[in-house]
Amino acid sequence: MYTSSANVAERQSAPPSLAISTVIFALRPSAKSGRPTLWIPLVRRIREPFKGLWALPGGPLTHAESLQDAASRNLRETTGLAPKYLEQLYAFGGLHRSPTQRVVSIVYWALVQPTEAALADESENVKWFRADRLGDLAFDHNAIVDYALWRLRNKLAYGSVAYHLLGEYFTLAQVREVYEAVLDRELDPANFRRQLKSTPEIEETGEYLQGGKHRPPRLYRFTGRPGLDPDNRSTP
Amino acid sequence: MYTSSANVAERQSAPPSLAISTVIFALRPSAKSGRPTLWIPLVRRIREPFKGLWALPGGPLTHAESLQDAASRNLRETTGLAPKYLEQLYAFGGLHRSPTQRVVSIVYWALVQPTEAALADESENVKWFRADRLGDLAFDHNAIVDYALWRLRNKLAYGSVAYHLLGEYFTLAQVREVYEAVLDRELDPANFRRQLKSTPEIEETGEYLQGGKHRPPRLYRFTGRPGLDPDNRSTP
DNA sequence: GCTAGTTATAGTCAAACTGACTAGAACTAA
DNA sequence: TTAGTTCTAGTCAGTTTGACTATAACTAGC
């Protein structure tokens, strides 16, 4: 859909504005099966365009902060979250992303641990949704979430990203559940644990998870470092 | 190094400007060994800041073009190149990237085939450099090139990126030379060819490369698609 | 307290893959 | 014709992967 030529001229006179948004992932137990599933917090638009629709948390970039700091601050202000894992996703700059003006959005993606996700603000205008049941979002945010999901699945397969969706201590079955939730397929428990046990970044603790219905599983700890972003590279 | 507080105040009043830059890779035969090595075209800064230093080709984002189009156009204008492979690298937005103003740079990276790279403009203010011998560049461009190199090596290992540095027809030994140049280590010819022959995206042609000193190698063709960027996703 | 049910955990086995290596084929240069 | 080089196919042992079996350790219900 195209706007009138008057609007186009108007749009071209203003500088393209720069916004920061974030796709936040957390695990929550599914209502049905009780298994963990991926959830995303969204905020309701309280003004045009797309007033009333749900959108990714975001806001403008202020001058005294880096891109990552802006994402962090905005997350805290809108959702109350302070994720341990925060990484740049992509810069979206299509011409018609917003009907009223040209906006370039630098989008981050974040992973929060379940304990923190439970504390997150939830209100009339901030709600969590299952990542696979979002409905129609404002702007191009459906496409952005799709891409973020693709990146998450990709990083999961190679990288060391699953542990940022879990607490400090976890069982190998919990890690497997994360993989199964994100990749949406079942994995053989025995083979999966063999692979994890061969990675040096996963450390066996002496503890066991008590209180379950069956044999108590051993608790593990992740000792690796997150990633290799330009923003995170020099961090020792 | 910090600027004076007056400059800081001045900087904060203006909106952060948005620029597009590109890291362009092409293979050229090394002067010494004759083997292909990675080269990058740079442009000389003709104004402050960093006047006289070499920098990545880039420029401002205009209103009528998407980010990728802006990168494309800028490439053509500054270097005369029209790469077949162009992908977003990262958005750099640190506070002190430029001493005079706050600049957010959305950086792309590109691969050009040797035939096209040979046609590229070269002048007093546009020159090609070996990727491993760049010297000190303007702004944070050394760090940007480092990251682009890291991405290139990464994509090479998994993806189907090597063929975009070669012409339409190539020998398996040429592909191996690309890998050796980018990864900077020798690979076993027999094992390497076994792997390539098992990938369905590489098609055997009936042709052979004639004119070499030894047994003429068979020519192959790449039939796969580039990538999975948001910008390239829907492209069939 | 015993038993059935369930998860945790270790191990087996064949197929696939990997790295190091051998060897013949096919060309050029001398 | 021969020596030298690259292209190409193949062997072999070590490693990894996927499917599967078996035992250990707990809870819940009787």
User: Residue B183: its pLDDT value, please?
Assistant: 96
Name the band, by pLDDT with cuts 50, 70 and 90, for residue A117. confident
Phi then psi for residue A72, to 5 deg, are -55, -50
What is the per-residue pLDDT for B235? 38
| Paired strand residues for A128 | A41
Q: Is the pLDDT of residue A122 over 70?
A: yes
* Distance, CA of A203 to CA of B28 (rounded, Å): 46
Position B227 scores a pLDDT of 67
Rounded to the nearest integer, the mean pLDDT of chain A is 89
- List bases in chain C with any atom under 7 Å of a protein Cβ: 5-11, 17-23, 25-29
pLDDT at A233: 58
- The Cα of A17 is separated from the nearest Cα of chain B by a number of Å equal to 9
The predicted pLDDT at position A236 comes to 31
What pLDDT, on a 0 to 100 scale, did the predictor assign at position B186? 95
Residues (175-194, chain A) with CB within 7 Å of strand D atoms: 188, 190-191, 194
pLDDT tens figures, A60-75: 999 889 999 999 999 9
Question: What's the pLDDT score for residue B32?
Answer: 78
Q: Which residues does residue B26 pair with via DSSP β-bridges, in sequence order?
A: B39
Which chain B residues in 158-217 sit with Cβ < 7 A of strand C? 188, 190-191, 194-195, 198, 212-216
- Beta carbons of B228 and A16 less than 8 Å apart: no
- What is the distance of C-alpha B233 from the center of its chain? 20
Is residue A87 within 8 Å of residue A109, measured between CB atoms?
yes
Whether A8 shows a pLDDT value over 50: the answer reads no
> What is chain B's mean pLDDT, rounded?
89
Give me the phi and psi of B20, to 5 degrees please. Answer: -120, 130
Query: What confidence score (pLDDT) does residue A14 get?
Result: 63
pLDDT of residue A34: 81
Residue B14 confidence (pLDDT): 63
Asked if the Cβ of residue B96 lies within 7 A of any atom of strand D, the reply is: no
Q: Of B53-57, B114-118, B144-148, which gets the smallest average pLDDT?
A: B114-118
Q: Is the predicted pLDDT of residue B1 greater than 90, yes or no?
A: no
- Chain B residue numbers with beta carbons less than 8 Å from the beta carbon of A93 are 61, 66-67, 106
pTM, to two decimals: 0.91
Q: What percent of chain B has pLDDT over 70?
A: 92
Contact A81, A75 (CB under 8 A): yes
